[in-house]
Structures are given as C-alpha cells and as structure tokens.
C-alpha cells in the first residue's frame, strides 16, 4: 500500500485515481502524519462490502439459532403484576 500526504493527494488526484482504478493500488492518505483516508479500486470496495455482508449474515444466522422464541404484547401484559 502506498502512503502519501494530503497535499500530494490534492496535487496528483487524477494520477492517484488512475493508480487505484487501473492498477488496483491501495493508497493511504495521511493528514499531519496520521492515516486519514484510503483510496481503493471499485473491485476492492465490492469485495469489502461482500465480506461485511457475509459477516452480517453469519451474525443473523447465529441470532436466529440462539432465539428461544418471540414474546407477544399479550404475554408481557399477562406477566405484569396487577396494580
């Protein structure tokens, strides 16, 4: 992964876009010496989103497996002590 400053990114933005788009290069942009943002290809973005979707799906499957059932409002009301 290439690391450049924000000022270099501003000065060379078209070149940076081409490097990410056509060469698949990942470019980290720093501001004041600290990582701020990254420029990646659309293919990398799609891969990242697919990974996030897979993780979310796995979490949902686990939640469904651990579910012991749903409670209705009527059940909640029936369990309340009479005032």
Tens-digit pLDDT profile for residues 31-77: 999 999 999 999 999 999 999 999 989 888 887 777 777 777 887 78
In this structure, the strands spanning 2-5 and 27-31 are parallel
Q: What is the pLDDT of residue 25?
A: 97
Q: What is the pLDDT of residue 59?
A: 87
Q: Is the pTM of this model over 0.75?
A: no
Contacts 24+ apart (CB under 8 A), 80-83: none
Residues linked to residue 12 through DSSP beta bridges, in sequence order = none
Count, residues in the chain:
83
Residues with Cβ within 8 Å of 37's Cβ and at least 6 positions away in sequence, in order, are 28, 29
């Amino acid at each position: 992964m290439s690391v450049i400053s924000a000022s270099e990114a501003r000065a060379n933005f078209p070149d940076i876009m081409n490097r990410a788009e056509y060469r698949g290069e990942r470019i980290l942009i720093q501001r004041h010496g600290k990582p701020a943002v990254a420029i990646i290809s659309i293919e990398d973005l799609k891969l990242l989103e697919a990974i996030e979707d897979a993780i979310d799906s796995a979490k949902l499957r686990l939640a469904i497996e651990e579910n012991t059932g749903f409670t209705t409002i009527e059940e909640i009301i029936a369990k309340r002590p009479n005032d």
